[in-house]
Amino acid sequence: MTVTASGPDASAPAQRKRGVALEDAIREAAFAELTEVGYTAFSVEGVAARARTGKASIYRRWPTKQELVTDVLCEMLPSPDQAGITVDLDDSVTTHQALLGVARAIAGVITSPSGAAMRAIKCEAMGDPELARLVDERFQAPRRAALLSLLRRGVQRGEVRPEAATQLVADVIPAVLSHRVILQREPLTQRDIIDIIEQIFIPLVEVR
């Protein structure tokens, strides 16, 4: 005697995801793949298996592995506004306070699991020009622009020297924070962040 299951889900196969639901599933799978195996071992095949879809579905949306990875990072990591890197600040907020808030936000991102994935990508990008271009265009450029805007706001307030409101200077905060975490492999305490701003950055930009 054969026993057959009954009920609405007994014999029906799992419904395939489509559209936005499928794209979200692919991004989640790609992020899981990236954080677990790193960029070097990252594969579209692995993502497809995790998302329970075919490689063709992925390649139709993201023609290259690099584009998939950068899109996933941009979705998973906070935007400049979400990270507190914005010039839309109350007049009572000084440049010193704004930059300290930015440094704390950047430190929070780069020491998070998402930040660990981003650090791995940056290291791999050194040998992958296309990946480096995409990471810079999609992730780093908007943050550099926001930091530069904060410095220009400081100039208008009389708190930053005009000649210090440059892209080169704006790169200093993320560069120092990343150097400590990635190369020195040191933790970033609140005291460290305050010291970086007060001992390095403020003397670099303040009116003399």
Place of tokens 């026993």: 3
Contact call for residues 197 and 174 (beta carbons, < 8 A):
no
Ranges for all domains in the chain classified under CATH 1.10.10.60: 19-73
Q: Among residues 163, 165, 142, 144, which one has the least CA distance to residue 153?
A: 165
Structure tokens at 36: 């677990």
The 10s digit of each residue's pLDDT in 90-103 is 899 999 999 998 88
pLDDT digits (tens, 9 = 90+) for 121-174: 777 777 788 888 877 887 778 888 888 999 999 999 999 999 999 999 999 998
* pTM of the complete model: 0.70
CATH code of domain 95-205: 1.10.357.10
Kindly state the tokens that stand for 145: 């622009």
Q: How far is CA 91 from CA 49, 160, 202, in A?
A: 51, 15, 19
Kindly report the number of other CB atoms within 10 A of residue 170's CB atom.
22
Query: CATH second-level architecture of 19-73?
Result: Orthogonal Bundle (1.10)
What are the residue ranges of CATH 1.10.357.10 in the chain? 95-205
Q: How do residues 64-84 score in pLDDT, each as one tens digit?
A: 988 898 888 878 777 777 666
Is the Cα torsion angle 38, 39, 43, 44 positive or negative in sign? Answer: positive
Q: Which of 68, 59, 76 has the alpha carbon at shortest distance from 112? A: 76
Tokens read off for 11: 């014999």
Determine the length of the chain.
208
